[in-house]
Structure 1
Amino acid sequence: MKKAELRKEQINKLKEFANTKEKETEDSILLEKLMETDLIKNSQTIGVTASLPFEVDTSELIARLWEAGKKVYLAKARADQDHTLDFLRYTYMSKLVKSKFGVEEIADGDAEVNNELDLVIVPGLAFALDSHVRLGFGGGYYDRFLAKYNPKTVSLVSSPMQFVSSEWPVEKTDIPIQTIVTTNKIY
């Protein structure tokens, strides 16, 4: 299946799932499983993306990371430069603005940038559990960032996002995720 077709299919599937009680339950299970990992325990600087309504909700995760004394950095797309990301320090005081992609990002241009993070929580639309490749939103932002900085990576994967193997063409620029957290297992 072509990536564009699968992206559209996955977004529709995730939007349907977003309106169910099951999504709330799965998000909660994924959060608990992630918070119990050594990845979180051993990381002080953590990059995350503010989630869209149909993605695994990261708002509670961010609050829990703050409570645990972690420094949280929110992804900001650099579309006008090299189609990659910067991660900006996110605190209770940070003001957010919606990007052209509909994702909330730090509004303050003077916010601390840290791209040498201990851990990055990577979003996606689909994940192959055998090879850990992901289907992103199509801009290559995360793949470019991961190729350049090579941080530890983890993704929270709800049931509609799981594929046993890749059903989409994998390119040499697609960077596999190191750890995948599902409601049943950590891969």
Structure 2
Amino acid sequence: MIEKEKIRNEVILMLQSFSETEKKSIEQTLYTNLFASKFWKKANLIGITLSKGFEWSTMPIIKRAWQEGKKVSVPRSIHASRELHFYQIEQFSQVKVGYFDIKEPIVEQTKRIHKEDIELMLVPGVAFTKKGYRIGFGGGYYDRFLRDYLNPTLSLLHSKQIVAKIPIETHDVPVDYLITERGIFSTAVTEQKE
């Protein structure tokens, strides 16, 4: 999908153009909007990635979850089947750098969490439409995971990451809510998950 690749690269360049100060300021607003949401308040067990590079940092979210007594599960990619398995971490020493420089849970030190036990899923992505369709990092791991995931899904992004349209494939699964620096928005597609 050449068009997807083009959109992905353009948005990544835009994200990399934020200064460190701008990025931190945007992140603070995203965190504030997330922590004020009913989804965050209701969830006792969250699913979240370990961010890197230009991505919005998820470390403060994980730390806040621990402070509030929430459980945190992070994904491990199973490359042969392109699946995600989530494991509960209680400290950052329980993760290591795996494939593609992605931080993943150390399986021997953590407990696998069943999909239906994760009460809120924070889904990473690069570009999004207002209907919650996203361009991630390729591979379709999250789309496979989300196909039969029934709890709320949301993504943190800057409003500049919202694009008019992206090529949608049959296996693509939209997220339910977008949290931007301007607030939290429902994606019209799955309004019934309230």
TM-score (ref. length: structure 2): 0.88
| Percent identity of paired positions between Structure 1 and Structure 2 | 33
Q: Match for residue 107 of structure 2?
A: 108
Rounded Cα–Cα distance in structure 2 between residues aligned with 1:159 and 1:101: 27
Which runs of 5 or more residues in structure 1 are unaligned?
none
Say whether residues 1:97 and 2:87 are aligned partners.
no
Q: Match for residue 120 of structure 2?
A: 119
| 2:84–2:141 CA contact under 8 A, matched in 1 | yes
Say whether residues 1:41 and 2:41 are aligned partners.
yes
Rounded Cα–Cα distance in structure 2 between residues aligned with 1:147 and 1:137: 17
Q: Match for residue 134 of structure 2?
A: 134
1:59-78 equivalent positions in 2, closer than 5 A: 59-78=59-78
Q: Match for residue 184 of structure 1?
A: 182
Query: 1:159, CA displacement in angstroms?
Result: 3.5
| 1:125–1:137 CA contact under 8 A, matched in 2 | yes
Rounded Cα–Cα distance in structure 2 between residues aligned with 1:91 and 1:133: 31
Query: 1:13, CA displacement in angstroms?
Result: 2.1
Give the counterpart of 2:172 among 174, 180, 184: 174
Q: Match for residue 190 of structure 2?
A: none
Which deviates more from structure 2 when the two are superposed, residues 95-104 or residues 56-65? 95-104
Q: For this pair of structures, how many residues does the alignment match? A: 182
Say whether residues 1:161 and 2:136 are aligned partners.
no
Which runs of 5 or more residues in structure 2 are unaligned?
186-194
Describe the SS at the equivalent of 2:112.
Answer: coil
AA partner of residue 183 (structure 2): K
Q: Deviations over 1:114-137 (max 9, x none)?
A: 1221110000001112x1111111
Rounded Cα–Cα distance in structure 2 between residues aligned with 1:186 and 1:95: 31
Describe the SS at the equivalent of 2:121.
Answer: strand
AA partner of residue 57 (structure 1): S
Describe the SS at the equivalent of 1:29.
Answer: helix
Q: Match for residue 28 of structure 1?
A: 28
AA partner of residue 70 (structure 2): K
Rounded Cα–Cα distance in structure 2 between residues aligned with 1:146 and 1:109: 25
Query: 1:53, CA displacement in angstroms?
Result: 1.9
Q: Deviations over 1:135-177 (max 9, x none)?
A: 11111000000003333101001243122x32x2111211111
TM-score (ref. length: structure 1): 0.91
| 2:29–2:181 CA contact under 8 A, matched in 1 | yes
Higher RCO structure (Cα 8 Å, ≥6 apart): 1
Q: Which has the higher helix share?
A: 2
Query: 1:110, CA displacement in angstroms?
Result: 5.1
**RMSD of aligned Cα (Å):** 1.6
Query: 1:94, CA displacement in angstroms?
Result: 4.0
Q: Match for residue 146 of structure 1?
A: 146
